Amino acid sequence: MGEFKVHRVRFFDYMPSAIRAMAFNSHTERLAVARADGAVEIFNFADNYFQEKVIPGRDGRAVEALCWVGRRLFSAGLDGELTEYDLENLRPKYSIEAYGGPVWTISGNSQGTLLAAGCEDGTVKMFEILDERIQFQRNLDRQKGRIISLAWHPSGTKMAAGMMDMIRIFDTETGSATHRMLVERGAGASKSKEVVVWSVAFLSDHTVISGDSAGKFQIWDGSTGTLIRSHPVTKWDVLVLSVSQDESSVIAGTSEGTVVQFQFIASTAGQEDKHWFRTRTFKNHSHDVRALVHTDTAVVSGGMDTQLVVRPLLDKVEKNTQESALRKIAFPHRNLVSCAKKAGLLLFQFPDHLELWRLGESDGNGAPGEILPVKRKPEKLIQLKRKGEDHICCSALSPCGSWLAYSTVSSVRLYRLTLSSNSVSIQKVSKLPKELRSVHQLCFSLDSSRLFASSSLSSVVVVALDQTECRCLHTLKHKSGSKQPIHILCPSEDGRWLAAANTDCEIHVFDLHKKKLHCSVPAYSSCPTAVSIHPASCSLVSVHADQQIFEFSLKQKEYTEWSRQLQRQGLHPLWLQRDTPVTRVTFNPTNPAHIVLHDAFMFCIIDQSLPLPKAETKLYNQMVLRSFPQPQRSRESHAFKICKNFQHLLSVTLLEDLSLVVVERPLLDIVSQLPAPVRQKKFAT
Amino acid sequence: MAALCEGYTLCGLVPALNQLSSEIQGIEEERDCDHVIVTDSTRSVTLYKVSDQKPLGSWTVKQGQTLTCPAVFNKHTHEYVAVSDNKVIRIWKEDDILLDKAFKATVSADVRAVHCAHGGEPAVLFQRGAVRLLDSLLSAPQQPVEEILVPEEAIRWSTSIVAETQQLIIFTTELNGDHFLYLQRLNPNSVQKYRLEPEGPGLSPLSFWASCKDKNICLLYLYPNGHLYQSLVSVRGPATDEGAQVVPLPRDPLLSLPVGEEPLDAASAIFLDDAHVAVVGVPHPAAGPGKDFLCIWNTNFQTLQAAKEMAGKLYGQLWSYSSKLFIPHGKVLSVIPFACPRSSLASALGKLKQVKTEETKPPTLVSSWNTILHGEQPPKPVETRKPRTTRRTQSAPSLTIDQVQNLIKTAPAEEVQKEVERLLSRQDLQDLQPSLGQLALALVSRSLADPAFYSSSSLTQLVHTQCLSHSVCPDLLPLALEKKDYFLCQLCLQFFPDIPEAVTCACLKAFISLPDADSEKLNLEPESVSFMEMLISNEHAQMGLQNGFSPASCEEGRTDTIGGPQTKAEEKGNASPKQSCPLGLHKAALINEVLQTAYSETFLLPHLKDFSSDHVVLFLQYLEFLYLRYSTDSFSQTHGCRSPTLNQILDWVCMLLDAHFTVLVMTPAAKGLLLNLQCFVRSQVRLFSELGKIEGSLQQLNSMKMKKDVGQYSIEVIELY
């Protein structure tokens, strides 16, 4: 197969933001995750937990609560505003001021007609949900002290509100508080501190469940306002609660990073008399669990340690299947690294700035396994701070390294770079065509003469670049009617084709010469995670969230023979069991049979000329092959050459000089930058 | 340290008629290590169980016939094979009673010997050098046998070895004073002939011994002049056509054994293991001219490891099977079990000696170790001869070693001194190394015999060459002590690696009891004296906190052990300023030398017990003084002088306390001393327990640092298959 020189890059200080809130829509199986920087991400649980959409954050916006109403997503934050998101254009649709100070929580009723917001000033504000917007309806009785948490009774007539030191029950029709349930403060020194009821749940049998800052999980009778049972769960805070749909199980997230499950079961089997019992404890986080979702089959948790953890409940799923495996989603499912193949430059995208680095050099060659001496160290050329308050949503670097573009939800900026050996200059291109306003994805053609930008309604704007001006040539549109945003753009090397994939699982191929749609790849049920056009054979290789690989010939407009054979034989089970999506596909310019692709834990070179691995052969066979002599090696080898030497990969690209650039971000480095977790007494410390 | 155990008699011998050779023709191992077959020189073969010291069976040929080669035992077939009257091969089993009724076969040529190596098949060596496997020979007993040797050539010694599944017959021959080694490989057959380097006119090897040392045949042979050589021959042999040419056999001198006046006549040497050689029939270096000794020498360190005087005449015969030596002497055949533990420097010297100073010393000392360790590899004779011939052309011819040795016996002291000096000023001292011991021996024996004769400077020079050791010249140090030549004593203590504990103690005793007035006149090695000067001058410099120990805290600690304010004040009065050196400068320098010698506690303790209580207290005071000086913060060990280490001092304190505990407790003079030591130790223990607490966390820190080696950027090469 051959030797590769690998630039192992670890200086991308990517730091994901802490998870603050989550909301799960069980009809569409979409999970919305809000992060501390205000970004909102949508994960499709029906499609291998693929991160379909990312709505970038904004300075000063801190999302404190998320709420789905039907297919609409609302959020509220400490800035005192309620926001609805435009999930087709990946931006906030509108925000309205609640006029009650910071909003701590929002909650929609099960009928989908009202949205309640709990405010700092002690009011619960009701908003009517209209087709295009929401409208303030009225306030419930104003209380002393802030409203921290809210829960609707499924009937919609009552509502429980967690406050400081107490829980109130409101009659939503009259707006008056019917019960006042005092929550006991913590013992000892914390006696003088108010207890915060961080989370409440209201079950259909009028049971109210609360979690508070004294570490208690309490069960109340909502109709009489009496405490039924109190479970001390932690010495610290119980931060969040989530109820299963059938109301037989409640999970509570704590500051210790644990998730505790309570179940409504009979103490002895067969008896009718049911109580809430503490059953399981999960410890998948090192820090506060701030957000929690109880799906039918799993506990989904997130918190300060930035990872999204999907922990299947083993009594709800079939054991030893892919579904029963624990998943940790630590990295975004999109590329934050752009690589200029010709110039050997790397562009790193952060929410508030971009970094441009030049790779180092080494002279000479070494034997496999060796580390070569670095002759020239890598060098940070530019750190470009974004303008405005909106965070960067996408960025691109042209292959020759002379153009740089980034976009926020409100604007696109294009820069011309001049790099010589010892000086760097950057010049903003001032007049951009007005079509370039709100884009989701940016991409340069290989000869750097075109900039492609995915715009609203699944359209692609083509911009011609030269030294003097930049003008919009045309807008490419397809006729499938999908309004979902395009998340992948990929031009072919010869400049003839452009592939665009959207989150409706569609891949459209445009003919850039004829400026119209060439064809659409037959729709597949899983969303494409990486798409690329082969430079020689003009076939389109797509990898999907369910790990399937397809090759579609653009000339014949049909799947290639290799692709059909792959589908007939099926991919190796171990390949299908991987839990991170392939985020980039590239090709080896010297060997057209080679496809290079990577996920977070491996990169793989698929040699199309070799036989496909059968289910019973060893997929990860590099170590075995190494021990064989050459003739046996070629007999035993199969098409998938997988290298796991590098872990936590954010990007793997092949430069023009055939050296690989591997960008790693070790999880330990991320963990080391987190704040200290709550102190816990451990044995012998 | 190799050791010879108490031996026992296996059987009695009838002295042969000519008195020169023993009655025993050969001893072979039988079925296991506890059974041997002994073939006597005439007619009978006897099977012995060694541990029971009794015969299990005996077979005799008819009157008039003789056994002409030692019987061997074939372990595969459990048969005995012997040859009678040179031509008749006899084979029998243990339950055959009469030898005459057993199998015999007459062959066409005279047989030299039958060999059956451990793990090999029996092979027959004919007088004229041909070799046949016994089986193939018996299939056609009258087959013609070729002649390998030229007519005058005669086999002197032969053996058989199995090395790496290759069976070999090895034999040596003599032809007109030249000696040859034949290496006959069996299956496939090939023979290689080597010529032994001639040792001198009229000197033929007295004994041979062959063993297999990782893929090489190691041949050991002893000459009458006491030189023991080793030659290595590859088992595989050169790829050249077999036997076509005679290859000279390179040799390495292993030992030069002391011989005495006469050359050896009946002696032999065998390898016991890689480093040990058992020698019989060679005089003990310290016991005069008698040759009735069985000795074990360490070839690595050239030291005598064990010796045993054997009663009666020795025949120069020696066999070794499974850690037992079989040696016929006088009228008996004795079995002497031996032990050769793997030799190391530590075991050879008692304790590891002065690692630190060896590093700081100029390389001379190190190189001397090399010569001691690898003295058996001096440059090839061709190279050494050359400078010798050039030297002869120089104007002032120095005498040879032998001449000087003769001179020592008679000449006056001044002349001896002059000649020794001239001899030692020669440049090729390294070659002389084995003979220097003999020179020293001669000097010492002359001094012992003639009280008027004592050549201090010659001996000093000899010791300075660092080629001597105590085992080479055991009388030297006692002589120096007797003559009160303390400078020589100092040098001996410094350079001899193997001084027995008894002698060390004798030195110590002499040094301690030396009057101060006398000692100040001594002329000692300047470096050791200057070290002591530094130590003593340093003593008044400061009295600060000493490695966590301050006199004040020591006092505090003591208050609870002693009641009464009066005693407290008294103690305070005499304890705290008591930091002056209790011994004179030169005396201390000498004692320092003793502290640095190697020793084993078990052997030293009994001798230490002989000390008088005054001496013990004085010595202990001095050790305490040293310890206090060493543990001050200001006094680090970076001065680079040869000096006792802190550990050595503490070891001696412990030993002294062990040896004289009751005496010290009873002696009032020692009370303050012991209390001082006790509270000192307590403060140190406190310090170390504190240090021990943080050790774990510091270690953790270290391992963490090791892990974090991955940089921000690297360029690596990987290969995919």
pLDDT greater at residue B345 or residue A305: A305
Burial per residue of A283-300, b for 16 or more beta-carbon CB atoms within 10 angstroms, e otherwise = ebbbbbbbbbbbbebbbb
Model confidence at A108, in pLDDT bands (50, 70, 90)? very high
Q: List the strands of the sheet with A558-559, edge to edge.
A: A528-533, A539-544, A549-553, A558-559
What local confidence, expressed as pLDDT, does residue B19 receive?
59
What local confidence, expressed as pLDDT, does residue A30 receive?
93
Check CB contact under 8 Å for A368 and B719: yes
CB A523 within 8 A of CB A503: no
The mean-pLDDT minimum among A144-148, B583-587, B617-621 falls in B583-587
Q: Which chain A residues contact residue B721 at CB under 8 A? A: 1, 622, 625-626, 633, 637, 641
| Amino acid symbol at A593 | A
Mean pLDDT of A524-553: 92
What are the φ and ψ backbone dihedral angles of B6, each rounded to 5 degrees?
-65, 130
Q: How far apart are CA A533 and CA A490, in angstroms?
A: 7
Distance from the Cα of B713 to chain A's closest Cα (Å) equals: 5
What local confidence, expressed as pLDDT, does residue B420 receive?
81
CB B344 within 8 A of CB B275: no
Q: Which chain A residues contact residue B717 at CB under 8 A? A: 3-6, 365-370, 372
Which one of 3.30.300, 3.40.50, 2.40.10, 3.10.310 gives the CATH number of domain A242-329? 2.40.10
What local confidence, expressed as pLDDT, does residue B429 receive?
58
Q: How far apart are CA B622 and CA B667, in angstroms?
A: 17
CB B73 within 8 A of CB B116: yes
Residue B539 has pLDDT above 80, yes or no: no
Helix (H) or strand (E) holding B696: helix B671-707
Mean pLDDT of B171-190: 86
Digit-coded pLDDT (tens) for B542-588: 444 444 444 444 444 444 444 444 443 343 334 444 567 888 888 88
Q: How far apart are CA B294 and CA B257, in angstroms?
A: 13
Cβ-based neighbours of A231, under 8 Å, separated by 6 or more = A216, A217, A218, A219, A262, A276, A278
Model confidence at A300, in pLDDT bands (50, 70, 90)? very high
What local confidence, expressed as pLDDT, does residue A224 receive?
92
Residue in the structure block whose two tokens are 């090999």? B120
Instruction: Reduce the DSSP state of residue A666 to 3 states and report it.
Output: coil
Q: How far apart are CA B266 and CA B287, in angstroms?
A: 18
Distance from the Cα of B582 to chain A's closest Cα (Å) equals: 51
- Does A5 lie at the interface with B, CB-CB under 8 angstroms? yes
Check CB contact under 8 Å for A368 and B712: no
Check CB contact under 8 Å for A641 and B712: no
Output the furthest CA–CA distance in chain B (Å, rounded): 109
Check CB contact under 8 Å for B717 and A8: no
What are the φ and ψ backbone dihedral angles of B449, each rounded to 5 degrees?
-75, -35
Residue B373 has pLDDT above 60, yes or no: no
What local confidence, expressed as pLDDT, does residue A174 receive?
92
Q: Which chain B residues contact residue A623 at CB under 8 A? A: none
Q: Which chain B residues contact residue A10 at CB under 8 A? A: 710-713
Mean pLDDT of B382-411: 56
Distance from the Cα of B682 to chain A's closest Cα (Å) equals: 28
Chain B residues with a Cβ under 8 Å from any Cβ in chain A:
710-721
Distance from the Cα of A198 to chain B's closest Cα (Å) equals: 39
Residue A192 has pLDDT above 90, yes or no: no
DSSP A150: E
DSSP B596: T
Q: Would strands A549-553 and A558-559 be described as parallel, antiparallel, or unpaired?
A: antiparallel
Residue A385 has pLDDT above 90, yes or no: yes
Mean pLDDT of B333-348: 71
Q: How far apart are CA A8 and CA A104, in angstroms?
A: 44
- Rounded mean pLDDT of chain A? 90
Q: Closest partner residue to B715 among A6, A368, A643, by Cβ? A: A6
Model confidence at A580, in pLDDT bands (50, 70, 90)? very high
Mean pLDDT of B205-211: 88
- On the 0-12 / 13-18 / 19+ scale of CB atoms within 10 A, B526 is exposed
Check CB contact under 8 Å for B719 and A1: yes
Q: Would strands B246-249 and B190-196 be described as parallel, antiparallel, or unpaired?
A: parallel
Partnered with residue B255 across adjacent β-strands are: B228
Mean pLDDT of B443-471: 83
- Residue B6 neighbours by CB distance under 10 Å: 7
What local confidence, expressed as pLDDT, does residue B241 receive?
54
Q: What is the 3-state secondary structure (H, E, C) of B176-213?
A: CCEEEEEEEEECCCEEEEEEECCCCCCCCCCEEEEEEE
Q: Would strands A177-182 and A166-171 be described as parallel, antiparallel, or unpaired?
A: antiparallel
- Rounded mean pLDDT of chain B? 77
Chain centroid offset of residue B44 CA: 39
Encoded tokens for B292: 């009735």
| Amino acid symbol at A582 | V
Sign of CA dihedral B527, B529, B532, B537: negative
Closest CA to A177 of A120, A217, A139: A139
Residue B100 has pLDDT above 90, yes or no: no
- Does A567 lie at the interface with B, CB-CB under 8 angstroms? no
Mean pLDDT of B445-454: 85
Cβ-based neighbours of A331, under 8 Å, separated by 6 or more = A16, A580, A600, A648, A650, A665
Mean pLDDT of B459-486: 83
Check CB contact under 8 Å for B718 and A645: yes
Task: Please give the span between the terminal C-alpha atoms of chain B, in angstroms, as a whole number.
Answer: 56
Mean pLDDT of A515-533: 92
Q: Which chain A residues contact residue B707 at CB under 8 A? A: none
What local confidence, expressed as pLDDT, does residue A53 receive?
92
Helix (H) or strand (E) holding A121: none
Q: How far apart are CA A347 and CA A359, in angstroms?
A: 11
- On the 0-12 / 13-18 / 19+ scale of CB atoms within 10 A, B152 is exposed
Residue B713 has pLDDT above 50, yes or no: yes
Of chain B, the percentage scoring pLDDT greater than 90 comes to: 1
Mean pLDDT of B79-100: 86
DSSP A536: T
What local confidence, expressed as pLDDT, does residue B541 receive?
52
Report the residue of chain B nearest A604, measured CA to CA.
B720
CB B218 within 8 A of CB B161: no
What are the φ and ψ backbone dihedral angles of B52, each rounded to 5 degrees?
-85, -10
Residue B204 has pLDDT above 80, yes or no: yes
Digit-coded pLDDT (tens) for B649-658: 888 988 888 8
The mean-pLDDT minimum among A257-266, B119-128, B228-237 falls in B228-237
Digit-coded pLDDT (tens) for A324-369: 889 999 999 999 999 998 888 999 999 999 999 999 888 777 788 7
Beta-carbon pairs below 8 A across chains A and B: 75
Digit-coded pLDDT (tens) for B356-365: 333 333 333 3
The mean-pLDDT minimum among A83-92, A245-254, A632-641 falls in A632-641
What local confidence, expressed as pLDDT, does residue B637 receive?
53
The mean-pLDDT minimum among A172-181, B19-28, B236-245, B613-622 falls in B236-245
Q: Which chain A residues contact residue B718 at CB under 8 A? A: 3-4, 6, 368-369, 643, 645
Mean pLDDT of A19-35: 93
Q: Which chain A residues contact residue B719 at CB under 8 A? A: 1-4, 368-369, 626
Check CB contact under 8 Å for A3 and B718: yes
Q: Closest partner residue to A362 among B715, B720, B721, by Cβ? A: B715
pLDDT greater at residue B372 or residue B639: B639
pLDDT greater at residue B350 or residue B671: B671
Check CB contact under 8 Å for B711 and A1: no
Residue B271 has pLDDT above 80, yes or no: yes
* CB < 8 Å & 24+ apart, contacts of B573-582: B574/B672, B575/B551, B575/B672, B575/B675, B575/B676, B576/B551, B578/B672, B579/B539, B579/B543, B579/B625, B579/B628, B580/B536, B580/B539, B580/B625, B581/B532, B581/B535, B581/B536, B581/B539, B581/B622, B581/B625, B582/B618, B582/B621, B582/B622, B582/B625
Q: How far apart are CA A236 and CA A215, in angstroms?
A: 5
The mean-pLDDT minimum among A31-35, A215-219, B339-343 falls in B339-343
A46-55, B327-336, B528-537: range with highest mean pLDDT: A46-55
What local confidence, expressed as pLDDT, does residue A684 receive?
61
What local confidence, expressed as pLDDT, does residue B572 receive?
39
CB B79 within 8 A of CB B89: no
Encoded tokens for A11: 């200086």
